[in-house]
Amino acid sequence: MVQNDTNFLLNWIKERNKNIHVEMKKVTLPACGEWCYDESVGEIRNKAGSFFQIKGLRITEDDKTITEQPIILQNEIGYLGIICKRIGGDMHYLMQAKIEPGNINKIQISPTIQATKSNFTQKHGGAKPAYLDYFINAAKYNIIADQIQSEQSSRFLGKRNRNIIIEIDEDIEVLPSHMWMTLGQIKELMRYDNLVNMDTRTVLSCLPIEKYQSEITDKTLLRSIQGGEDNLPQIYQYINNYKMFSEQKTELVPLFSLENWEMRGGEFVCKEPYSFKVVFCDIEIEGREVRHWQQPLFEATGIATFGLMTRVHNGAKEFLVRATPEIGCFDGIELGPTVQREYIYKGELTDVDKLFDSKLKNNDGVVFDTLLSEEGGRFYHEQNRNVIMEIDENEIDSLPPGYFWTDYKTLSLLIRVNNCLNIQLRNLLSVLEW
Q: Kindly report whether the global pTM for this prediction surpasses the value 0.85.
A: yes
Q: How far apart are CA 380 and CA 396, in angstroms?
A: 37
pLDDT score at 124: 54
Tens of pLDDT along the chain (434 residues) come to 677 889 999 999 999 998 888 899 999 999 999 999 999 999 999 988 878 999 999 999 998 999 999 999 998 999 999 999 999 999 999 999 999 999 999 999 999 999 877 666 656 556 788 999 999 999 999 999 999 999 999 999 999 999 999 999 999 999 999 999 999 999 999 999 999 999 999 999 999 998 888 889 999 999 999 987 789 999 999 999 999 999 999 999 999 999 999 999 999 999 999 999 999 999 998 766 678 999 999 999 999 999 999 999 999 999 999 999 999 999 899 999 999 999 999 889 999 999 999 999 999 999 999 999 999 999 999 999 999 999 999 999 999 999 999 999 999 999 998 889 999 999 999 999 88
pLDDT score at 4: 83
Instruction: Please give the single-letter amino acid code of residue 78.
Output: G
Per-residue b or e along 320-329, where b marks 16 or more CB atoms closer than 10 Å to that residue's CB: bbbbbbbbbb
Helix, strand, or coil (residue 303): coil
Per-residue b or e along 24-39, where b marks 16 or more CB atoms closer than 10 Å to that residue's CB: bebbebeebbebebbe
Options 1.20.120.1200, 3.30.230.10, 1.10.240.10, 3.90.79.40; CATH of 220-248+303-430: 3.90.79.40
User: Residue ranges of the domains in the chain?
Assistant: 220-248+303-430
